[in-house]
Amino acid sequence: MAVKSNTLTLYNRSVNDLLYDYAVSSNYQNSWVYDPDLALKNDPDIWEKVRSDPAFMSSIDRSTRSIVKPWRVERSKVDKTKQGHQLAAICNEGLSDIYRFNSSRRRLAE
């Protein structure tokens, strides 16, 4: 007689947080693509309502986190000169001085 465990395996875990992603990807595989302006015409506050829903917001957050990753400026692999390295360091310093640069990148990715 086999002993059953009370722990969830990887195969039994909930996939509710992925349902939105699957639904969107299946819609893009159809021949009909829904007009995004139709929702705005019917309800101008639709974006605020979507962002207030935890399921949609977790999907948006997961998507932007996978797009916006830590960054750094590197010189070209072809350029082996000291000036190329200095230019990359100057650009890296200039971009890192921008106020809330990473959060702006995430906002643009939404």
How do residues 3-55 score in pLDDT, each as one tens digit? Answer: 555 555 555 666 666 777 777 777 666 666 666 677 777 888 888 888 888 88
94 part of a folded domain: yes
**Cα–Cα distance, 48 to 44 (Å, whole number):** 9
pLDDT at 92: 87
Average pLDDT in the chain: 77
Is residue 51 situated within a structural domain?
yes
**65 lies in a domain?**
yes
* CA dist., res. 42 & res. 107, Å (int): 25
Number of domains in the chain: 1
Tell whether 38 is covered by a domain.
yes
Q: What's residue 7's pLDDT?
A: 59
Cβ partners under 8 Å of residue 50, min gap 6: 56, 57
Is 5 a domain residue?
no
Say if 9 falls within a structural domain: no
Counting residues of the chain whose pLDDT is more than 90, the rounded percentage is 0
The model's pTM = 0.42
Asked if residue 34 belongs to a domain, the reply is: yes
The answer to whether 68 and 108 have CB atoms below 8 angstroms apart is no
> What is the domain extent for residue 34?
19-69+77-109
